[in-house]
Chains A and B, each alone.
Chain A
Amino acid sequence: MEKNKITFLIAELCLAVLVILFVRHILADEEPQKRIAVIVDNSGAEKWDSFMNGLRQGADIENVHLIICNTDEIENAEEQKELIDAQLNNQVDAFIIQVAPGGDTVAMLQEVNRIKPVVLVANGVYETNTSDSDNMESGLPIIMPDNYKMGYQLGQEILKQNNNNISGKTIGIVNGLKSTESTQDRRQGLVDALKDSGCEFAFDVYTTSGEDIASTVRQCKEIDYMAVLETGALEQIGEDNTNDSMKRTKVYGIGHSMKCVYYVDDGLVESLVMSDGYDMGYRSVVEMARSLKNRFHGITSYTTDYIVIHKDDIFTEETQKFLQTCE
């Protein structure tokens, strides 16, 4: 066959292929939205408001569909695995997960990550013994605040608010769930901040699922300062404090809800360390969406910011900008 004829046929063939591709594009339905499942402990709790706002805004910008699983307390890896399996059956494309308490959770999540990409939020993997948010042991990207620093900051606040003079004073620590990395880190940060202050740690309690931590604390001996390191516990103790049950005790806390802020506004809590839940939600969904759209986009771990709120600066512009995300 002559050369010109071959060239002509090849050109026509290439153009025909192009036409087929274009027609496919014309006839193709819109690409279905990527589906990302979000599994966090007690998802309806107020402490997740800003996180959920961030998630929704990020999902809106990246045009992904969020499935926020309706959960109560997730006490262990097994419960979390059940939720994950349900969403796998629901054909989700990725997961944003808060690690459930327990040492065996990480292995389960690594297994899930082999099937669908996973981003961890809020807290890292238990027993890592590291303040570095980039958790190398699990190999999973984590977007969360630096819990150790938050704990440390709370300790600093106790010192600052009391003119660095708390020697001989008694302090009670109210922790979150015992087998979580965030609880460990926050507590360690607090203890490190106060270790040279001369104060006495009167009690050190952990919340458990379904327990009224306020009544537990009431049974403990009276103390000068209380450091509450978990949102739910702070809300309970704040509410209990409205009943003037702990007149003498000054409460300091770490919390992520508007209720906690309100307690600061009411003077029931002296200082509040509040992490940027909105940024955590926004970044986690944006990073995950970009990773799903572009397989070469790797998700890197990120440490979100936090602020310290006092009664006097709740209505400042800076704090308001931060708090608007919680509405």
Chain B
Amino acid sequence: MIKKIMKREFDIQSMIMTVLTMLTVVTSVLMGFLLYNRYGNAMRQMEIRDTQTLLQSTANSLESYLRNMRQIEDTINYSVVQEIDVSDAQFNQELSLLYEANKDKIQSIVLCDNKGKLIGAEPVIVQKPGVEIADQAWFNIAVNEIENMHFSVPHIQNLFRDDSYRYHKVISLSRSVDIIDGGNPQNGVLLVDMKYSNISDILGKINQESNGYYYYLCDGEGNIIYHPHELELMRGLLEENNADVAGYKDGIYTDRLNGEKRKVIVNTIAYTGWKLVGVVSQNTKTDSQVRFRYYIMTIITLLIMMNLFVNRIITKKISSPILKLDASVKAYEAGGKKNIYIGGSSEIRHLGLSVQKSYEQIESLMKEIVDQQNKRRKSEIDALQSQIHPHFLYNTLESITWMIEGNRNKDAVFMISELARLFRISLSKGKTIICIEDELQHCRSYMNIQKYRYRERFSVQYDIQEEIYSYCTVKLILQPILENAIYYGVGDMDEDDDPLIVVRGYKKEDDIYLCVEDNGMGMREEDVRNILTDNQKVPKHGSGVGLINVHTRIQLMFGEQYGLHVESEADEGTSVTIHLPAIPFTKENCEMLEKAKIGKE
């Protein structure tokens, strides 16, 4: 297909336009792409910065919340647990006061001894039967690592009965504490169950506000604390790189999830080691990015439209003079007007002038060549004609000589008179074209001379339409044919065989035919075939050039379709027909034919 297109010929306007258009489109698209890419990157950087800021702010909120929880637990520990005996009624009052003050954040406060026996709880509710505190994770970690506070991952609280038949999702903050029970100091575990909803509300809010990005929270081991698609993750409907992210330090990372490239911003929460993670997908397109893409596409399209318009004007400006020059050259070549276009830029103008000058020179040279050709042809014709004269003169004078030698003076006079008439026509004031009437007169004079020479051994008949008298012919075309008819036809025949030469002349349509027939010995078929060619195999007698001479002269004057036609049969005779165009014998026609510029065509 491409090869086919490449092979096609394009005009210069199409080529320039195509190249300029391609350049325009490529440049514009490239420019648009770079611009969009630059803007996209800038936007993404901005979004990452925004995400960082939001993450930092959220981390601060979470830290503040967790600090608050720690402070509550510290207050319970230092102001209540360590200060008041658990068996004292004041203990429960103080615990209740603290719970009431913070119950929007706290699900429950629990104090148990180091064996897992419940000492006190707020709100005062019934422990679920069969539930062993000592089996619970928050208790064990507090007992085993007494020096720290421990934040658990979110879980369903499984400690107390709930009259509303509900379960509560909590994050447990537990620590080992020193208690006084009946005056005896001992170890215990203080548990503050924080409402998970407080954390999910903080993170839910930023996820709601985000546009195509999301934020999640996991602990230091990658366990999800909050994720906007937590349920889908649990069910395997979605995936998350939380296990990998848990190992990241604070900063910006690039990772891939299911082939999708993402920027992951990590911020570690103090006290807990939790990781607050912001995920910015590289594939996510915000509304402003989408709109900007359409802006760019609109600008690029407008730019291409404008460039196409300008390209067309430039292309026309460049190609129009070339096309005009090309058209004028083509018109000249087709034989039309000869004015070569000269215009446009100085280069094209110069080119036009050069072409015009070249054509003028070519025309001049052509004219010169034609003149030379005409002259050469004329000289050829003249040379051919001049071949006849000496030969004929020799024969005639030989005949007259024989007559005078034979004292046939009367006949000699007649012969000389006929010869004089013959020469008059032969000369014809140097003209090549004569009327048929003169040619026939020339023929008669010749035959009269020959008949004397041959002592009337043969007869001559003329069957001529008078209407052909006034048409043009090349002079001296019948005489060589008659000469051949005598020499090779009837000249050597016995008188008893009635040798006869018939000269016919007639017009048929737009052509004239002059026919010389004899009933002589005829010719072989091979001789007939070769007689009009310049073939050396055919013996040439008589005028020496014979029929070829006549044939060539006619064709040179009137064209290839005219000339002689020879028919012959051995012992039957020969017929030679001259085919000429019927050109009326007028002064103008004679002059034109003399200049060899017109023909029958």
In the complex, what residues of B have CB within 8 A of residue A315's CB?
Answer: 156, 158
Question: Which of B166, B167, B237, B302 has most chain A Cβ within 10 Å?
Answer: B167
Residues from 155 to 177 in B contacting A, C-beta threshold 8 Å: 155-156, 158, 161-162, 165-167, 169
CA distance A65 to B167 in the complex (A): 29
Contact of A327 with B229 at beta-carbon distance under 8 Å, contacts A11-B308, A19-B305 already known: no
Q: CB distance A15 to B298 under 8 Å?
A: no
- The answer to whether B167 and A57 touch across the interface, beta carbons within 8 angstroms, is no
Establish whether residues A26 and B312, one from each chain, have CB atoms under 8 Å apart when the complex forms.
no
B309 within 8 A of A: yes
Contact A26-B166, Cβ < 8 Å, known A279-B235, A315-B156, A324-B234: no
Fill in one digit per residue for B224-240: 1 if any A CB lies within 8 Å of its CB, else 0: 00000111101101000
C-beta contact mask, A303-315 vs B, less than 8 Å → 1, else 0? Answer: 0000000000001
A19, B308: Cβ atoms closer than 8 Å? no
A321 within 8 Å of B (CB atoms): yes
From residue 284 to 299 of chain B, which have CB atoms closer than 8 A to chain A?
287, 291, 294-295, 297-298
Contacts of B231 in A (CB 8 A): 53-54, 57, 278, 324-325
Judged by a CB distance under 8 angstroms, whether B96 is at the interface is: no
Cα(A321)–Cα(B14), bound, Å: 70
Interface residue tally for chain A (C-beta within 8 Å): 34
B282 touches A (CB below 8 Å): no
Q: Are B166 and A262 in contact (CB under 8 A)?
A: yes
Within 8 A of B (CB), among A313-327: 315, 320-321, 323-325, 327
Whether A57 pairs with B308 at a CB distance below 8 angstroms is no
A320 to B154, CA, bound (A): 11
Instruction: Determine how close the nearest CB of chain B comes to the CB of A268; give it in whole angstroms.
Output: 10
Query: Which of A30, A261, A265, A325 neighbours the largest number of chain B CB atoms within 10 Å of its CB?
Result: A265
Q: A19 and B301: CB pair below 8 A? A: yes
Q: Which of A15, A57, A320 contacts B156 (CB 8 A)?
A: A320
A8 to B155, CA, bound (A): 70
Q: Please state if B294 and A26 are interface contacts (CB–CB under 8 Å).
A: yes
A-B contact count (CB 8 A): 74
What's the tally of chain B residues with a CB closer than 8 Å to chain A? 34
Pairwise interchain contact B165-A259, C-beta atoms closer than 8 A: yes
Whole-angstrom distance between the Cβ of A244 and the nearest chain B Cβ: 15
* Distance from A267 Cβ to chain B, minimum over Cβ atoms (Å): 8
Are A12 and B308 in touch, CB under 8 angstroms? yes
A54, B301: Cα distance in complex, Å: 45
A55 CB to nearest B CB, Å: 12
Does B264 make an interface contact (CB < 8 A)? no
Chain A stretch 129-183: residues in CB contact (< 8 A) with chain B: none
Given known A8-B308, A57-B232, contact A19–B156 (CB-CB < 8 A): no
The interface residues of chain A lying within 8 Å CB-to-CB of B230 are: 324
Q: Chain A residues near B169 (CB, 8 Å)? A: 324, 327
Beta-carbon contact of A19 and B167 below 8 Å: no
Contact A258 B298 (CB under 8 A): no
B304 adjacent to chain A (CB < 8 Å)? yes
Residue contact B295 to A26, C-beta cutoff 8 Å: yes
* Complex CA–CA separation, A22 to B299 (angstroms): 10
A15-59 to B contact mask, C-beta < 8 Å, 1/0: 110110011011000100000000000000000000001100100
Say yes or no for B17: interface residue by CB 8 A criterion: yes
A25 touches B294 (CB 8 A): yes
A54–B13 alpha-carbon span in the complex (Å):
65
B301 and A323: CB pair below 8 A?
no
- With the chains together, A327 CA to B308 CA distance in Å? 63
| B165 CB contact (under 8 Å) in A11, A25, A258, A323 | A258
Question: Closest A-chain residue to B298, C-beta based?
Answer: A22
Residues of B within 8 A of A53 (CB): 231
Residues in chain A near residue B17, CB distance under 8 A: 4, 8
Q: Which residues of A contact B295 (CB under 8 A)?
A: 26
Complex formed: what's the CA distance from A325 to B167 in Å? 12
Which B residues touch A282, using CB under 8 A?
Answer: 232, 237
Contact B312 A19 (CB under 8 A): no
In the assembled complex, the CB of B219 is this many whole angstroms from the nearest CB of chain A, namely 15
Whether B312 pairs with A8 at a CB distance below 8 angstroms is: yes
Known contacts being A57-B232, A325-B231, is A4 close to B13, with CB within 8 Å? yes
Contacting residue for A19 out of B13, B234, B302, CB 8 A: B302
Asked if A15 meets B301 with Cβ closer than 8 Å, knowing A321-B235, A323-B156, A324-B231, the reply is yes
Q: Report the 9 A-B pairs with minimum CB-CB distance, sorted nearest first.
A: A262-B165, A22-B298, A259-B165, A321-B234, A25-B294, A15-B305, A26-B294, A22-B294, A19-B301
B interface, CB within 8 angstroms of A: 13-14, 17, 21, 128, 155-156, 158, 161-162, 165-167, 169, 229-232, 234-235, 237, 287, 291, 294-295, 297-298, 301-302, 304-305, 308-309, 312
Additional pairs, 18, CB under 8 Å, beyond known A12-B308, A26-B295: A11-B21, A12-B305, A15-B301, A15-B305, A15-B308, A18-B297, A18-B301, A19-B301, A19-B305, A26-B294, A53-B231, A57-B231, A61-B229, A258-B165, A259-B165, A261-B167, A315-B158, A324-B234
Give residues in A with beta carbon < 8 Å to B: 4, 8, 11-12, 15-16, 18-19, 22-23, 25-26, 30, 53-54, 57, 61, 258-259, 261-263, 265-266, 278-279, 282, 315, 320-321, 323-325, 327
13 pairs, A vs B, C-beta closer than 8 Å: A8-B312, A15-B305, A23-B298, A25-B291, A25-B294, A54-B231, A57-B229, A258-B167, A278-B231, A279-B235, A282-B232, A321-B234, A327-B169
